[in-house]
Amino acid sequence: MPRTIRLVEPHDGAIRWGIAATGRIAGDFATAFTQVDARENASIAAVGSRSSATADAFAAEHDIARAHPSYRELAADPEVDIVYVASLQPGHVSDAITMLEHGKHVLVEKPFTLSATEAGQIFDAAEANDRFAMEAMWMRFSPGPVEAVRRVHAGEIGAVQHMDIDFTIQVADDPEHRLRSLEKGGGALLDLGIYPVTLAWWIAGPPTSWTVEGDVKNGVDTTCVIEAEWDGITARLSCGLDQAGPLAATIRGIDGVLELPAPFHAANRFRIDGGESHRFAPASLHHQVYEVHRCIRAGVAESPRNPWATTRAILTMCDEIRAELGVVYPTET
């Protein structure tokens, strides 16, 4: 049962968003936000960046009224209700807590944090300040994956027996690339593997056991293959930075096979038993916004579709996998 708490101030009026950071995903979010239905009565009111020049440029590009030269000044903006935290993962814990302590709700990019301990710190701050918090695990809200999981849960392929889910891509062999840099929170597992692990968890819940093999270069995991088991289910969950992989999800049940094609986490179609593709609205970062609004307006601090306990439990599993591989972030030493 997802835990909910009543917020101090239920929001019945407009919802005003702020964006913390001006990188790639922040821009994608601002672009996707233009698809949010006008009846939602919501807007992006402000952006914050570590520099005024990038804040100003982002605000101009996305037609945002106010640009703040720091995340702290964004946090202090009284005309912002919720902040989308789109900084690099080592910053998520402090950036999100700063927002919560200034009375903002938060939607925090994936991976929510580097560790389960940090995730707990954000949830504690959300609870202490009666504010909403959620990991921006957009896959959980995009129509294709949502319907695929619904059909698996409805029994269309029978009891699940095996899952093969991959998120392997070719990343430039540059130690400064954020996925290859320990200081920037890099590593295949937290940046890419979080999707296969989350999809498997969404379908089958927490695994009863798992083993992992992987490669580590310059302190970060460059490949990671998890063999997981549940009662009657096995899974191979893979991710990596060194080659273009299938990026697909195959879910085998006793009565059929469901295939989400590449990229599975953002697929707008899937097939059952090799039949005709079922097609859905494209995956987009704006679908999760509806759930955030619903929760804030209902006065609940967490979404039952992406509850705190699940975010924390998945990060606990990632902590244990990283411990096996020997990946330790600078903030953990």
Ligand X SMILES: NC(=O)c1ccc[n+]([C@@H]2O[C@H](COP(=O)([O-])OP(=O)(O)OC[C@H]3O[C@@H](n4cnc5c(N)ncnc54)[C@H](OP(=O)(O)O)[C@@H]3O)[C@@H](O)[C@H]2O)c1
Instruction: List residues binding ligand X (CB under 6 A).
Output: 21-26, 49-50, 54, 86-89, 91, 109-110, 138, 178, 191
**CB atoms < 10 A from the CB of 216, how many?**
17
Nearer of residues 16 and 265 to ligand X, judged by Cβ:
265
Are 24 and 285 spatial neighbours (Cβ–Cβ below 8 Å)? no
Q: Give the shortest CB-22-to-ligand X separation in angstroms.
A: 3
Q: Minimal distance in Å, beta carbon 190 to ligand X?
A: 8
Tell me whether residue 91 or residue 193 sits nearer to ligand X (CB atom). Answer: 91
User: With respect to ligand X, which residue has the nearer C-beta, 88 or 313?
Assistant: 88
| Nearer of residues 7 and 116 to ligand X, judged by Cβ | 116
Residue nearest to ligand X (CB): 23
End-to-end CA distance of the chain: 35
Least separation in angstroms between residue 203's CB and ligand X is 20
Q: What distances in angstroms separate CA 257 from CA 96, 285, 298, one per listed residue?
A: 40, 28, 38
Tell the smallest beta-carbon distance from residue 90 to ligand X (Å). Answer: 7
Beta carbon nearer to ligand X, 100 or 285: 285
SS3 (DSSP) at 232 = coil
DSSP per residue over 251-304, as a string? EEESS-EEEEPSSGGG-SEEEETT-PPEE-SPP-TTHHHHHHHHHHHHT-SS-T
Query: What is the smallest separation between the CB atom of 30 and ligand X, expressed in angstroms?
Result: 11
CB of 233 to ligand X, least distance (A): 27
Residue that is written with structure tokens 């959980």 in the block: 140
Do residues 97 and 32 make contact, with C-beta atoms less than 8 angstroms apart? no
87/222 with CB nearer ligand X: 87
CA atoms of 329 and 220, how far apart (whole Å): 9
